[in-house]
Chain A
């Protein structure tokens, strides 16, 4: 309940924040929404020497699509901003369907999308969505910006490839190859529970044909899992039963869950397969309604 002492900095530009991170020499941490970091500090699982609060940096709090369809989510966009967005469901049905399942309604007013990806909790929802969408994180450091695909960005449980003096300033989701479809399902025992298992499915469709697919798995491994083979099984299909069945099986095989009080490893694998099928069937149902 009582965090350790730290130095607090509240820079007003990304550059200043990077300079402070450089100065911190690995002992400084960026504070955005703080909804994962502060609880860890209260339990003293984390005790950074310096906190660099980026909430006062202008220009990081917007999200939207570029002319070419590329979607950008700034580092200070809160979960609730996405949940309440009226335009997001058309652009990114996967993100829209996951937004109201992240944590609980109060945490969502404060926690950030990019911060959640950077937290790299294997039970985090957003990294799975980003993996499914082939999204990237833009990291800015003393030598400028670089873009890292989220599947490569997460390096392990609670670990990313961010250098100690880099800040994740935005998430970028490439334009769809067709019409975007998909969604997110997670098994949680109650609101705010960590996922027993979760699946994010992103599809780019031409009519009923899948042009491109991505599947991210939550809570079933030491880190977010990119179920590439499962996604590949859907590409070119029209979500026929055998293609979906195949993808579900491959997704379950890609998962690497452990047995714990939330369920056995077998059960979690079964949930992964079940959710892949349910998500695909939801897409078909939506297609049928449009048609």
Chain B
């Protein structure tokens, strides 16, 4: 059992507070991704879990044991670094064997472990090479090999794919997911790339400004973002936010006038807002379709990707709007377009950026 519990972790560098009271409970064998913009504290949090930084306050429990002040090895973690951190003067074999050499492991067992790790990662014929002779993806695998020989309880990954090109990144994502399944270990993965987060994670922690914005399954975050920040961070292209004014509100629904005048009744819990409040209506680009009776946008730029046509334009008083229309949509740059969206697909955020609970959202999301 290797659960990982963070209890009220805070971290300050001098007077700058970078992590605010973070508490998370990560299950055994779970793949959890920390995602957020640069500077949100996700790497610092990972380094605190690894034992490379000390938390200013709070506790870290691994497998139910308090390891807040323990050495990384005693915590039972291993870490894969963004730059791979391979030792350039050592062969692939010695790089993978390094943690075992530190333990002064007996030669036969060491060799068996290295060969096993190399087998899993398809590096068996590369063992005598130096890291400099390998491609980016192979180096990444060596770094992972070095982390698995020690059989740690928790694997930590610090943006391991950000140095790879896009195609390779896609392949490595699949490999990492398979590795997680075959190793059956708890993994914590830091990235700024929401696609990596959505594709690999069992659950995602969205961090912003040193605080947890939301912790949930990918679909939970997609369908039920708690804040405007999460809503915009998850999903590609980003969710559109249109300023609106509330003209009527009660717990069963909210009537709003979008910027530009278009009126909609949205099935969200309007219990705590009142008429005249300024809100923002969030609409995902993939949820709109061309149709009469909707709101007009003027199309500025059109990106045809074959499968979808991404349309950029403005709504109302110059609010930027993006629509992802299926196929080879009948749209032209410079022409106005009427877009429709069903009210159930809309999100509403109050002035402080918190969501109004959706009443008609997909049910699968809640339990993940």
Partners in one complex: no
A interface residues with partner B (beta carbon < 8 Å)? none
B interface residues with partner A (beta carbon < 8 Å)? none
